[in-house]
Chains A and B, each alone.
Chain A
Amino acid sequence: MSMQGPLATSRSATGIPTGRLGVWWLLASEIFIFGGLIACYILYRLNNPWWGGEAVFTKVPAGAFNTFVLLTSSLFIVLAHDAAEKKDFDRAFKFIWYTIGGGGVFLLVKYYEYSSKLFADDPELLKTPLTNTYWSFYYTATGLHALHVIGGMVIMALISFDLRKGFNPHRVELIGLYWHFVDIVWIFLFPLLYIAK
């Protein structure tokens, strides 16, 4: 918030900064959205044991690599937060862009995975959202997650330039909370969609 904002923006009756409190509530609402989707998937999955035969077509090594990439990018955003706390804004700027880079690599791998299924020449390997309900879930859940990755990257890019000038360093912590959440969602999706056969 800008310096000239209403007094309300600077009050803190709970002792928790307002921005952090707001992000926690945002994440709470996101948990219910992804929680609902994942619960639906699990219920369907329990009723359709044959979906394990579909899950073999996912690329586990690619998913595992992406898990590694996202976890590493979470480390970068923590380092950026640490640097911002120490007022080393150039270093914070650098680590924010490393985090964005991690998101970029994640999306590239995702693109490779999607395209190898959506445009496969071999009809055995051709898997679209319409193939069956397992693949509907696969594309809906990973697609919604990928949109969250893109959203996080855009916000990080927007705040990074202010940050380099030393404005609003607390935002690194807020976007960091969000980025960890995106990370955790993937940690749920990866075993459920890829590993469980």
Chain B
Amino acid sequence: MGQTTVTHDSHAAHGHDHHEQSFIMKYFFSTDHKIIGLQYMFTGMFMAIVGGYFAYAFRMQLAFPGMEVPLYGTVGPGQYNMLITNHGAIMIFWVAMPVLIAAFGNILIPLMIGCDDMVFPRLNRLSYQIFLLSVVVLFMSFFVQGGGFGGAWTSYPPLSAVAEYNLTDWGASLWLIAVALEFVAFLIGGINFVTTSMNARAPGMRMTDIPIVVWMIVLASIMFMASVGPLIAGSVMLLMDQRVGTTFFVPSGGGDPVLWQHLFWFFGHPEVYVVLLPALGIVAEIMTTFARKKLFGYKTILYTTFATGGLAFVVWAHHQFIAGIDPRMANIFLVTTLLISIPIAEILFSYVATLYGGSIEFRTPMLWALGFLVTFLLGGVTGIYLGSSALDIYFHDSYFVIAHFHSTFFPIAIIGMFAGLYHWYPKMFGRMMDETLGKIHFWGTIIPFNGIFLPLFLVGMAGQHRRIYNFQHFPDLATADLQGIRVFATVSLVTMLLFQFVFAYNFFVSMFKGEKAPANPWKSNTLEWTVPSPPPHGNFAELPTVYRGPYEYSVPGNKEDYWPQNMPDRN
């Protein structure tokens, strides 16, 4: 990055001389934050298809063991492990992270803080390129000798460290390299987000005038930075174990496998909040817009988020209650884990208070935002059970954990993503999406989602252990009623996946045939709605000055019920 080459699409801040860019330069080597955001988004959506396809294959195997799965084939035990491992890894590292943080962060941050690009545009492009490379390496790992890695997304050693145990010599290493590359991409992107939000704000924008979603993405980036470092070191050590033959994590050579668990969960638990915060931010923007009300307790939400961020770093060992840690230590982590539910509940209450007394419009983005609140609540409440060390001894590694985990991550990654997509689609593509199809998609996703995971809480409580590819081998778990529940969950999954075609149709057809979107279709306050849809290169014809906070809706004395941040006078 040391050269002084002038990038092809850099534009003079003064004296615009617009030159046509070639298609390749515009869409593959662009340093424009909006294009990079879209690149992240489309890559993330493509990976969501891959992750969903994997889920389809292994759920079919669980419901109808040994069947020839249509569009996949027979799922053997090794295949099954590879599918669940990569379903988890893809959905978290290659869907939730790129879409929620990188895509929305890239598209929204410069627009919302009123500037023309990120402060490090070429670093931004490098971040996406490293991310794309990580995708390529991940796909390579599926096709090497021995197949893709099957040691679960947590990749606990010694299983992940020794090829004789996991039987996927290069699959395991390439998988690890892909994850490490993805970390590097998001470290670079995170530095860019944080620095941009600190330094490139529009004149007049105070810290408390920054839209909540920008705060959330920035705080998530800082949390990611602080939590992933030790795991990067751990990944280097694990890679040394795999390729050089060291024994950092292999007990037979004097290493300690539990250390990896500490490193992994020191990252892994904050990671939940890293993806949760942007989703909470997206929901806050949507709720204030469609309830026509000021966000309840802007500063309270902010301080509560700081508290969450701090606490998130001292809860990790609740994943290890049965890993042989000292029971006294388990008590400490039990207390911190239960404590962290307080700030999160406080944020959710603030959101409910925002809705209270508002004039709510049930447009598609609002439905998704409300769906987020309800489903996330279910995920959060079941977390209290797992955080209690005594109960966790029974629930650990059961389907109860899977159901809990998906009840938190699905609202975050999928519902939050769709909420943001439906809300900012007009800004991204300059067209409106179809409302009816959007609502069909919403109900067709939210109902089958609960059809998948509510039953899985039940089978978890019945003692069904995770990571078993055929329950017919276990007489206690092979009963007809348990199998009936499994079939029901699988049918729900297939239904949910089929409804995504409604979205795909709506998404792509609206892009070309949708009604043209005005600059501010939702009558929203934040700065991205003051520019044309889609925003031109350089975003603002004249860079804005900010006069007030982002949530001034229904202010008495104004003619309109919204009051854009950059409007000097009464509306």
Residues of A within 8 A of B (CB): 1-2, 4-14, 16, 18, 21-22, 25-26, 28-37, 39-40, 43-44, 47-48, 129-130, 132-133, 136-137, 140, 144, 155, 158-159, 162, 167-168, 171
Report the Cα distance A14→B206, complex, angstroms: 11
Q: A residues within 8 A CB of B293? A: none
| Interface residue? B130 (CB, 8 A) | no
Q: B residues within 8 A CB of A36? A: 229-234, 263
- B226 touching A8 by the CB < 8 A rule? no
Question: Contacts A8-B196, A140-B240, A158-B2 known; A133 to B247 CB distance under 8 Å?
Answer: yes
- Contact size class for B? 35 or more
Report the Cα distance A36→B229, complex, angstroms: 7
Q: B residues within 8 A CB of A32? A: 225-230
Q: B residues within 8 A CB of A40? A: 230, 233-234, 237, 248, 259, 263
Stretch at the interface among B113-121, B135-143, B562-570: B113-121
- Interchain residue pairs with CB less than 8 A apart (13): A4-B6, A16-B198, A18-B120, A22-B119, A29-B190, A33-B230, A37-B230, A43-B259, A47-B256, A129-B245, A130-B245, A132-B253, A136-B237
Residues of chain B from 98 to 125 with CB closer than 8 A to chain A in the complex: 110, 115-121, 123
- B248 touching A133 by the CB < 8 A rule? yes
- A29 touching B225 by the CB < 8 A rule? yes
Residue with the highest number of chain B CB atoms closer than 10 Å, among A26, A136, A155? A136
Report the Cα distance A155→B259, complex, angstroms: 35
From A5, A28, A133, A159, give the contact of B254 (CB < 8 A): A133
A49 CB to nearest chain B CB (Å): 13
Q: A residues within 8 A CB of B84? A: none
- B117 touching A8 by the CB < 8 A rule? yes
Residues of B within 8 A of A (CB): 2-7, 10-13, 110, 115-121, 123, 187, 190-192, 194-196, 198-201, 205, 225-234, 236-237, 240, 244-248, 253-256, 259, 263, 538, 543
Q: A residues within 8 A CB of B119? A: 8-9, 11, 18, 22
Report the Cα distance A35→B149, complex, angstroms: 28
For A4, the closest partner residue in chain B by CB is: B10
Q: Is the interface of A mostly helix, strand, loop or mixed?
A: helix
Q: A residues within 8 A CB of B232? A: 33, 36
- B247 touching A136 by the CB < 8 A rule? yes
For B2, the closest partner residue in chain A by CB is: A158
Q: A residues within 8 A CB of B255? A: 133
Q: A residues within 8 A CB of B247? A: 133, 136
- B6 touching A2 by the CB < 8 A rule? yes
Q: B residues within 8 A CB of A22? A: 119-120, 123, 191-192, 195
Given contacts A18-B195, A22-B191, A30-B229, 19 further A-B contacts (CB under 8 A): A5-B121, A6-B116, A6-B118, A8-B110, A8-B196, A8-B200, A9-B121, A16-B199, A25-B225, A26-B191, A28-B225, A31-B229, A32-B226, A33-B230, A36-B230, A36-B233, A40-B230, A133-B247, A136-B240
B261 CB to nearest chain A CB (Å): 12
Report the Cα distance A159→B2, complex, angstroms: 6
B321 CB to nearest chain A CB (Å): 20
Question: Lowest 5 A-B CB distances belong to which pairs?
Answer: A32-B229, A36-B230, A158-B2, A6-B117, A37-B233
Q: B residues within 8 A CB of A29? A: 187, 190-191, 225, 228-229
Q: A residues within 8 A CB of B12? A: 4
For A144, the closest partner residue in chain B by CB is: B236
- A140 touching B11 by the CB < 8 A rule? no
Residue with the highest number of chain A CB atoms closer than 10 Å, among B246, B254, B263? B246
Question: Contacts A40-B237, A144-B236 known; A136 to B248 CB distance under 8 Å?
Answer: yes
Report the Cα distance A140→B247, complex, angstroms: 12
For A131, the closest partner residue in chain B by CB is: B246
- B254 touching A129 by the CB < 8 A rule? no
Q: B residues within 8 A CB of A9? A: 117, 119-121
Residue with the highest number of chain A CB atoms closer than 10 Å, among B6, B190, B231, B236? B236
Q: B residues within 8 A CB of A162? A: 2, 4
Q: A residues within 8 A CB of B231? A: 36
- A7 touching B195 by the CB < 8 A rule? no
- A167 touching B4 by the CB < 8 A rule? yes
From B199, B228, B254, give the contact of A132 (CB < 8 A): B254
B25 CB to nearest chain A CB (Å): 15
Q: A residues within 8 A CB of B236? A: 37, 140, 144
- A5 touching B237 by the CB < 8 A rule? no
From B3, B115, B191, B233, give the contact of A8 (CB < 8 A): B115
Report the Cα distance A43→B260, complex, angstroms: 12
Q: A residues within 8 A CB of B256? A: 44, 47
- B246 touching A130 by the CB < 8 A rule? yes
Q: A residues within 8 A CB of B11? A: 4, 6
- A130 touching B115 by the CB < 8 A rule? no
A46 CB to nearest chain B CB (Å): 12
- B244 touching A129 by the CB < 8 A rule? yes
A61 CB to nearest chain B CB (Å): 27
A91 CB to nearest chain B CB (Å): 20
Residue with the highest number of chain B CB atoms closer than 10 Å, among A6, A16, A47, A168? A6
Q: B residues within 8 A CB of A4? A: 6, 10-12
Q: B residues within 8 A CB of A168? A: 4
B210 CB to nearest chain A CB (Å): 11
Residue with the highest number of chain A CB atoms closer than 10 Å, among B7, B199, B253? B199
Report the Cα distance A40→B240, complex, angstroms: 15
- B225 touching A11 by the CB < 8 A rule? no
Q: A residues within 8 A CB of B538? A: 6
For A13, the closest partner residue in chain B by CB is: B201
Q: B residues within 8 A CB of A8? A: 110, 115-119, 121, 196, 200
Residue with the highest number of chain B CB atoms closer than 10 Å, among A11, A144, A158? A11
Q: A residues within 8 A CB of B6? A: 2, 4
- B253 touching A133 by the CB < 8 A rule? yes
Residue with the highest number of chain A CB atoms closer than 10 Å, among B225, B232, B233, B245? B233
- B10 touching A5 by the CB < 8 A rule? yes
Report the Cα distance A9→B254, complex, angstroms: 50
Q: A residues within 8 A CB of B195? A: 18, 21-22, 25
Question: Contacts A2-B10, A4-B11, A35-B229 known; A136 to B246 CB distance under 8 Å?
Answer: yes
From A11, A130, A155, give the contact of B244 (CB < 8 A): A130
